[in-house]
């Protein structure tokens, strides 16, 4: 499913009319009918609906919804919140249909506020610009104040559709029925909460691709269909030989979790390279993994035998390796000498910020997997800026350095060097715990070895990781006690539920 900016949504609408000959008022009828259908399915017939209708096409959708719900016998009070002269075009057409149907408009009184149980917010859509002007400023506050269930149409009124906007006032919806395609603000941290429970409603626009480069929200079906299946003739070589590099004397756990995740997610053979002192205990807990000692200074990795890179299908480096000086040279060597996909995470990203010129020179596939703070440090932006602009900041970094970016969070945004983006939203707050990222690194290492397209591979890996958490917390675990090591074990149920044919 495409994720659109406001401009792209308008483009979609315009092309449906200009190229496909669909009349605007018919599109609006279809939109309102689809939206009313979802409202009808969600709420029992004894609810008392208050529909607030604004002056643009969002209000036009509101007129269609109010009429259809009334046609079907629902208790609906409709209020046009702007003067008559503001209603024009397709919205005016549908206002006329509404009134010719014998339905009237009400004044917004204290009584109406108190009588309603569900408010349908069709005041402002993706056309909102700048701070709210009267009467919308007061109305948005009132909607948030009264205790009705708040249903926003397309977008909570006042909320920006795109990323980047810092100051706004908006309806805090309980439910949002999004028209046709999710907008960027559904995925940015400071705006996503306003949507409440969000559902995309297909209003039947022709299937056009309006995002270029493509920007897509991953659905379970996409993963089920596209996941590379294992042939019966598989052997360990065909499943990939991966190398994980990380772990300092005081941080052996990260590497152990990543290595375990790598083999659990299906790697043929995983080798873990770490400081020699960590090997006896790590090897004891991971009999399937091969170990290799690195050079060491002050308890951290200070060098790696580049022969170990030969014969590998992918390499992941940086987890738990610490930030001490020697690590930088190790990362520089890896950037220069790794001829297969190289994934860099955690402390490896810390060192990378001093090696950006080397990164730029590198020609083979490179993946960086920062969380917001690491992305901020890599790009020199503040964490606030990264949170407000995750799509464009990821895209710029991916293009500037020719890398794949996995910007981790509740909605993980994966970007290819050409700017294509996939959002993977599986997972829950149970993953907000030290070590979750290490598990993800192990999974992604495996995915990179098994799929010819890194963007798809990375999206599949984020899905496995997030779904494991979801399945576990739907069963025995909760978001409080879930451990990263549980997420590794939970991969079995993800494969059984979603991947196995």
Ligand X SMILES: NC(=O)C1=CN([C@@H]2O[C@H](COP(=O)(O)OP(=O)(O)OC[C@H]3O[C@@H](n4cnc5c(N)ncnc54)[C@H](O)[C@@H]3O)[C@@H](O)[C@H]2O)[C@@H](O)CC1
- DSSP secondary structure string, 195-244? G-EEEEE----------SS-EEE--HHHHHHHSPPPPTT--TTTT-EEEE
127 is in an annotated binding site: yes
10 Å CB burial of residue 487 (0-12, 13-18, 19+) is buried
60 is in an annotated binding site: yes
Rg of the chain over Cα atoms, rounded to whole angstroms, equals 26
What would you measure as the largest C-alpha separation in the chain, in angstroms? 84
125 is in an annotated binding site: yes
Residue 435 binds which one of ligand X, K ion, ligand ADP, none, with CB within 5 to 8 A depending on kind? ligand ADP
Residue pointed to by tokens 């990375």: 458
Q: State the number of binding residues for ligand ADP (CB under 6 A).
A: 17
437 is in an annotated binding site: yes
- Decide the pairing of beta strands 295-297 and 300-303: antiparallel
**For the chain, first and last CA: distance in Å?**
24
Binding residues among 322-381 for ligand ADP as defined by CB under 6 A: 371
121 is in an annotated binding site: yes
Among 55, 327, 442, 454, binds ligand X (CB under 6 A): 55
Does residue 207 contact residue 181 with C-beta atoms inside 8 Å? no
> Could you tell me which of 294, 309, 442 has the C-alpha nearest to residue 364?
309
Binding residues among 58-77 for K ion as defined by CB under 5 A: 58
Among 264, 388, 408, 451, binds ligand ADP (CB under 6 A): 408
CA distances from 330 to 259, 370, 462 (A): 20, 19, 27
Binding residues among 264-293 for ligand ADP as defined by CB under 6 A: none
Residue placing its CB nearer to ligand X in the complex, 31 or 372: 31
Binding region for ligand X (CB under 6 A) out of 50-58, 192-200, 369-377, 451-459: 50-58
> Could you tell me which of 100, 438, 67 has the C-alpha nearest to residue 255?
438
Residue placing its CB nearer to ligand ADP in the complex, 116 or 253: 253
10 Å CB burial of residue 473 (0-12, 13-18, 19+) is buried
Shortest distance (Å) from residue 131 CB to ligand X: 6
Among 29, 61, 121, 345, binds K ion (CB under 5 A): 121
Binding region for ligand X (CB under 6 A) out of 48-56, 289-297, 416-424, 434-442: 48-56
Q: State the number of binding residues for K ion (CB under 5 A).
A: 5
Q: Cα–Cα distance between 278 and 253 in angstroms, integer?
A: 9
> Is residue 412 a contact residue for ligand ADP (CB under 6 A)?
yes
Residues at the contact surface with K ion, assessed by CB under 5 A? 58, 121, 152-153, 157
Residues at the contact surface with ligand ADP, assessed by CB under 6 A? 371, 408-410, 412, 427-429, 431-432, 434-438, 440, 465
Residues at the contact surface with ligand X, assessed by CB under 6 A? 9, 13, 27-28, 31, 54-59, 61, 124-133, 136, 153-155, 179
């Amino acid at each position: 499913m495409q994720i659109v900016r406001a401009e792209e949504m308008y483009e979609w609408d315009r092309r449906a009319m200009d190229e496909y000959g669909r009349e605007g008022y018919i599109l609006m009828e279809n939109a309102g009918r689809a939206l009313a259908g979802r409202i009808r399915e969600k709420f029992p017939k004894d609810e008392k609906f208050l529909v607030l209708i604004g002056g643009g096409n969002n209000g036009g959708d509101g007129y269609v919804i109010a009429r259809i719900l009334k046609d079907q016998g629902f208790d609906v009070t409709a209020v046009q919140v702007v003067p008559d002269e503001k209603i024009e075009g397709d919205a005016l057409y549908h206002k006329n249909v509404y009134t010719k149907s014998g339905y009237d408009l009400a004044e917004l009184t204290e009584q109406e506020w108190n009588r309603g149980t569900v408010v349908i917010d069709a005041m402002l859509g993706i056309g909102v610009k700048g701070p709210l002007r009267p009467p919308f400023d007061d109305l948005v506050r009132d909607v948030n104040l009264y205790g009705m269930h708040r249903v926003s149409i397309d977008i909570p009124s006042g909320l920006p559709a795109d990323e980047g906007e810092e100051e706004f006032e908006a309806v805090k919806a309980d439910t949002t029925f999004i028209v046709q395609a999710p907008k960027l603000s559904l995925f940015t941290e400071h705006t996503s909460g306003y949507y409440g429970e969000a559902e995309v409603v297909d209003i039947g626009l022709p299937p056009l691709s309006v995002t270029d480069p493509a920007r897509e929200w991953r659905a379970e079906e996409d993963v089920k269909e596209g996941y590379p299946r294992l042939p019966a003739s598989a052997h360990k070589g065909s499943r990939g030989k991966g190398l994980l590099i990380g772990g300092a004397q005081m941080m052996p756990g990260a590497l152990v979790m990543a290595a375990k995740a790598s083999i659990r997610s299906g790697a043929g053979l995983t080798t873990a390279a770490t400081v020699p002192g960590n090997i006896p205990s790590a090897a004891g807990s991971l009999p399937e993994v091969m170990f290799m000692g690195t050079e060491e200074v002050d308890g951290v990795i200070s060098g790696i035998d580049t022969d170990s890179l030969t014969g590998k299908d992918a390499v992941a480096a940086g987890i738990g390796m610490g930030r001490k000086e020697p690590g930088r040279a190790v990362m520089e060597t890896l950037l220069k000498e790794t001829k297969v996909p190289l994934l860099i995470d955690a402390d490896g990203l810390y060192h990378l910020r001093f090696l950006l010129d080397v990164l730029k020179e590198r020609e083979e596939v490179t993946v960086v997997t920062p969380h917001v703070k690491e992305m901020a440090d890599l790009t020199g932006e503040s964490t606030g800026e990264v949170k407000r602009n995750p799509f464009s900041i990821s895209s710029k970094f991916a293009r500037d350095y020719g890398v794949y970016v996995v910007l981790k969070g509740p909605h993980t945004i994966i970007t290819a060097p050409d700017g294509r983006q996939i959002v993977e939203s599986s997972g829950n707050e149970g993953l907000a715990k030290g070590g979750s990222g290490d598990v993800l690194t192990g999974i992604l290492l495996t995915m990179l070895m098994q799929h010819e397209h890194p963007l798809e591979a990375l999206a599949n890996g984020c899905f496995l990781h997030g779904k494991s958490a979801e399945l576990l917390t739907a069963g025995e675990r909760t978001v409080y006690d879930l451990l990263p090591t549980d997420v590794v074990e939970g991969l079995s149920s993800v494969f059984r539920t979603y991947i196995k044919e």
